[in-house]
Structure 1
Amino acid sequence: MKRTRADGVALILLSVLLLAGGLVTWQAYRQWVALEEMGNHMGMSATAVHGTHPLWYLIGTIVVVSVVGGVYVLVRERLIDEEATTASPDANKGTSRGVDPTDTPITSGPAGGRASASDVPDRDRRVLDLLPEDERRVLEPVLESPGLTQIALRDRSNFSKSKVSQTVTDLEKRGLLYREPQGRTYRVYPADDLALTG
């Protein structure tokens, strides 16, 4: 679930809770006023006749909305991260190719060392030049070292866990890379037509 959709659902839920609480409070207030008028005619107080003051309904509504909103804020990143990494339709794309997800990352460059940005072919360099900065900072390390884990990718891009996950999901949807599960993380590979050839 994308961040904006999750926020929209949460906003609708909080609005419904506020509306329901407001209606209950308004109804309790109207009943309180009616009973108070009736009690004045009979010489009794409204508390003796009705019981709970409408202000308590209002406070209860505010507390419930605050708790629900607070819980959503606490679990928001986790929900978005989990859905972004598990709901990807191409998450198992590489397993049909016979790629072992426990393999170490493939490296390219002089003497088998880590590839540098200058080792990225011109075709892939043009693709990188068309991408926004955040997507480029995620895709370039994948092109240089296919099979990076998302954890290593987070370290190389200096992005948060959720930012890397969301960016990888966006790039995956556009067919620029794919990922394979490995334990509690994923290995990220460039799409076949972007993979370095050696």
Structure 2
Amino acid sequence: MNLATQAGVRYAMQNPSSYINSNVAGLVNLLEVCKSANPQPAIVWASSSSVYGMNSKVPFSEKDRTDQPASLYAATKKAGEAITHSYNHIYGLSITGLRFFTVYGPWGRPDMAYFFFAKDILKGKEITIYEGADHSSVMRDFTYIDDVVRGCVSALDTAKKSTGSGGKKKGTAQFRIYNLGNTTPVPVSKLVSILEMLLKTKA
């Protein structure tokens, strides 16, 4: 179970509808507006590395299976990929989905693991670090927000135009899915060590 999945499971158990409202209903609302626009825009949207779910093969490839989500959050992102594919096929929207890998930086989501790790460390609470297969250390591709922004802009710069207009498809449109992450995974234990150093508190 990766850090994003841990965070997703923890938060989803408290507020499952938030994921549905944002990642499914919110996405459909956006696509409905875009499909009826004239001209239609090219779309770049945030999927997630969590779609790889129970897949244990690393590194992940865009060709790997994504039908075994390990959290509700992952399931909603997988649903988003299927939904965007449908709008691409039916309405000619040019769509690029980016599977983000453990994004961190200023203004991060409060349910991310490093936030609740830090809070629990400061409160003196025990923190749980999951292990990989055969008791191996879990490693994550921590990706800084500025790099993710550059990836999003590059995806927009290379996107082809949508082929529809006013809700009617006029030709085959571009549909892309890319992994967007760091290429040097970091052990979760190192993250905890960094937090301990900065917080001057032993986990």
TM-score, with structure 2 as normaliser: 0.24
TM-score, with structure 1 as normaliser: 0.24
Higher helix proportion (structure 1 or 2)? 1
